[in-house]
A and B are shown apart, each in its own frame.
Chain A
Amino acid sequence: MRLLNRTAGRISRHRRGRLAGVVMLMVGLVLTGGLYTVFAPAQADSAESDAALVAEGRELFLVSCSFCHGKNGEGVLTEGGTQYGPSLAGVGAASADFQLGTGRMPLARPGQQVAVKTPVFNDDEIEALSAYVASLGPGPAVPDESDYSVEGLTAEERQEAVTRGSQIFLTNCTACHNFSGNGGAMPRGGAAPSILGTTPEHIYEAMLTGPGNMDVFSNGNLSPEEKRDVIAYVSQLREQPEYGGFGLGGLGPVSEGMFAWLVGIGSLVGFAVWIAAHTTRSTKQPSKGADA
Chain B
Amino acid sequence: MSVDTSKVADTNAGTAATPKKPGKAGVVANWADERLGLGTLMKKNLRKVFPDHWSFMLGEIALWSFVVLLLSGVFLTLWYTPSMGEVEYQGSYNPLRGVEMSEAMASTLRLSFDVRGGLLMRQMHHWAAMLFIASMMIHLLRVYFTGAFRKPRELNWVIGSLLLLLGTLEGFTGYSLPDDLLSGTGIRAADGFMKSMPVVGTYMSFFLFGGEFPGESIIPRLYTVHVLLIPGILLALIAAHMLLLVYHKHTQWPGPGRTEENVVGFPMLPVYAAKAGGFFFIVFGVSALMGGLLTINPVWKFGPYDPTKVTAGSQPDWYMGWPDGALRIMPGWESHFWGVTLSWNVFLPIIVLPGLMFTILMMLPFLESWITGDKRDHHLLQRPRNAPTRTAVMVALMTFYGLMWAAGGNDIIAIKLHLSINQITYFMRAAVFIGPVIAFIITRRWCISLQRHDEQKLLHGYETGIIMRSAEGGYSERHLPVNETEAYTLTAREREEVWTPGDETDANGVPAKRGRFDGLRAKLSTLMYADNVQPVTKEELEAAHHHADHEHELQASLDGQPADGHQFDGHHAVDGENLRGDH
B366 within 8 A of A: no
With A179-B313, A248-B294: A268-B286 Cβ-Cβ less than 8 Å: yes
Write the nearest CB–CB distance from A165 to chain B, whole angstroms: 8
A260 to B126, CA, bound (A): 10
Write the nearest CB–CB distance from B239 to chain A, whole angstroms: 23
Q: At the interface, is chain B mostly helix, strand, loop or mixed?
A: helix
B94 within 8 A of A: yes
Instruction: Contact check, B95 vs A236: say whether CB atoms are below 8 A apart.
Output: yes
| Nearest-CB residue, chain B, relative to A172 | B309
9 additional A-B residue pairs with CB within 8 Å, beyond A170-B306, A179-B302, A290-B570: A166-B99, A185-B410, A189-B419, A243-B112, A253-B321, A254-B318, A260-B130, A290-B572, A291-B570
A253: chain B residues within 8 A (beta carbon) = 182, 297, 313, 315-318, 321
List residues of B (425-469) whose CB comes within 8 Å of A's CBs: none
Instruction: Contact check, A267 vs B286: say whether CB atoms are below 8 A apart.
Output: yes
With A178-B313, A272-B61: A264-B279 Cβ-Cβ less than 8 Å: no
Q: Which of A162, A185, A268, A290 contacts B312 (CB 8 A)?
A: A185
Q: Mark B264-299, 1 if CB is under 8 A from A, else 0.
A: 001000010001001100110011001011111110
A180 to B112, CA, bound (A): 18
Residue among A177, A183, A272, A289 with max Cβ neighbours from chain B (10 Å): A272
Instruction: Contact check, B94 vs A159: say whether CB atoms are below 8 A apart.
Output: yes
Q: Mark A242-266, 1 if CB is under 8 A from B, else 0.
A: 1111111011111111111101110
A187 within 8 A of B: yes
Instruction: Contact check, A268 vs B294: say whether CB atoms are below 8 A apart.
Output: no
B415: chain A residues within 8 A (beta carbon) = 183-185, 191
B97 within 8 A of A: yes
Instruction: Contact check, B95 vs A162: say whether CB atoms are below 8 A apart.
Output: yes
A35 to B279, CA, bound (A): 89
A267: chain B residues within 8 A (beta carbon) = 286
Q: Which of A237, A244, A250 contacts B123 (CB 8 A)?
A: A244
A280 within 8 A of B: yes
Instruction: Contact check, A252 vs B271: say whether CB atoms are below 8 A apart.
Output: no
Q: Mark A203-228, 1 if CB is under 8 A from B, else 0.
A: 00000000000000000000000000
A265 to B138, CA, bound (A): 9
| Nearest-CB residue, chain A, relative to B292 | A245
A277 to B409, CA, bound (A): 37
B206 within 8 A of A: no
Instruction: Contact check, B54 vs A184: say whether CB atoms are below 8 A apart.
Output: no
A160 within 8 A of B: yes
A109 within 8 A of B: no
Instruction: Contact check, A257 vs B318: say whether CB atoms are below 8 A apart.
Output: yes
A192 to B418, CA, bound (A): 12
Instruction: Contact check, B134 vs A265: say whether CB atoms are below 8 A apart.
Output: yes
Residue among B57, B95, B127, B318 with max Cβ neighbours from chain A (10 Å): B95
B476: chain A residues within 8 A (beta carbon) = none
Instruction: Contact check, A289 vs B575: say whether CB atoms are below 8 A apart.
Output: yes
B286: chain A residues within 8 A (beta carbon) = 264, 267-268, 271
A193 to B131, CA, bound (A): 32
A159 to B286, CA, bound (A): 38
Instruction: Contact check, A271 vs B282: say whether CB atoms are below 8 A apart.
Output: yes
A257: chain B residues within 8 A (beta carbon) = 130, 317-318, 321
A159 to B98, CA, bound (A): 10
A233 within 8 A of B: yes
Write the nearest CB–CB distance from A197 to chain B, whole angstroms: 15
List residues of B (43-72) whose CB comes within 8 Å of A's CBs: 52-58, 60-61
A154 within 8 A of B: no
For chain B, the count of residues having a C-beta within 8 Å of the partner chain is: 79
A175 within 8 A of B: yes
B316: chain A residues within 8 A (beta carbon) = 253
List residues of B (561-583) whose CB comes within 8 Å of A's CBs: 570-573, 575
A19 within 8 A of B: no
Instruction: Contact check, A289 vs B573: say whether CB atoms are below 8 A apart.
Output: yes
Instruction: Contact check, B318 vs A261: say whether CB atoms are below 8 A apart.
Output: yes
B60: chain A residues within 8 A (beta carbon) = 272
A253 to B176, CA, bound (A): 13
Write the nearest CB–CB distance from A207 to chain B, whole angstroms: 17
Q: Which of A160, A178, A189, A289 contacts B420 (CB 8 A)?
A: A189
With A236-B95, A268-B131: A252-B314 Cβ-Cβ less than 8 Å: yes
Instruction: Contact check, A237 vs B312: say whether CB atoms are below 8 A apart.
Output: no
Write the nearest CB–CB distance from B174 to chain A, whole angstroms: 13
Instruction: Contact check, B411 vs A184: say whether CB atoms are below 8 A apart.
Output: yes
B135 within 8 A of A: yes
Instruction: Contact check, B57 vs A275: say whether CB atoms are below 8 A apart.
Output: yes
A237 to B93, CA, bound (A): 12
Instruction: Contact check, B61 vs A246: say whether CB atoms are below 8 A apart.
Output: no
With A187-B421, A251-B313, A268-B286: A246-B412 Cβ-Cβ less than 8 Å: no
A247 to B423, CA, bound (A): 29
B359 within 8 A of A: no
Q: Which of A170, A175, A276 contacts B53 (CB 8 A)?
A: A276
B303 within 8 A of A: yes
Instruction: Contact check, B571 vs A276: say whether CB atoms are below 8 A apart.
Output: no
A191: chain B residues within 8 A (beta carbon) = 414-415, 418
B508 within 8 A of A: no
Instruction: Contact check, A252 vs B321: say whether CB atoms are below 8 A apart.
Output: no
Q: Which of A165, A185, A292 contacts B411 (CB 8 A)?
A: A185
A102 within 8 A of B: no
10 contacts between A and B (CB under 8 A): A174-B181, A177-B312, A183-B415, A187-B422, A189-B418, A245-B293, A264-B127, A268-B282, A268-B286, A269-B54
